[in-house]
């Protein structure tokens, strides 16, 4: 299925520390998460092991919210969280 990344999603991704490749990877290989308003969501945890805004983080979790119209997945927004997740929360990459 085709993935269409909305410009708003790319702007949010850049601000929050994700990129276009990660957005596509989350949609293709992430695990489902709840989303509101009839939308769908997927998330994936990545090893990060870097500083962001002066704090060191082991991992980052990228969540993509999207809709499906015909045969196209259209992104709505992306969220990025930094920290460390337990195994039952998500498998790190």
Token reading at 52: 């962001």
Please report, for residues 4, 22, 26, 55, 73, the alpha-carbon distance to residue 66 in angstroms, rounded to integers and kept in the order given: 9, 14, 11, 30, 6
pTM metric for this prediction: 0.89
Contact between residue 70 and residue 4 where contact means Cβ atoms under 8 Å apart? no
pLDDT number for residue 1:
85
How does pLDDT run across 19-64, given as a tens digit for each residue? Answer: 999 999 999 999 999 999 999 999 999 999 999 999 999 999 999 9
């Amino acid at each position: 299925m085709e993935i269409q990344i909305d410009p708003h999603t790319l702007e949010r991704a850049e601000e929050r520390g994700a990129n276009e490749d990660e957005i596509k990877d989350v949609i293709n290989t992430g695990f489902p998460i709840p989303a509101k308003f009839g939308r769908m969501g997927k998330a994936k945890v990545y090893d990060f092991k870097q500083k962001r805004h002066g704090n060191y983080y082991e991992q980052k979790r990228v969540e993509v919210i999207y809709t499906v119209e015909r045969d196209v997945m259209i992104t709505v927004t992306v969220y990025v969280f930094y920290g460390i997740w337990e195994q039952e929360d998500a498998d790190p990459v």
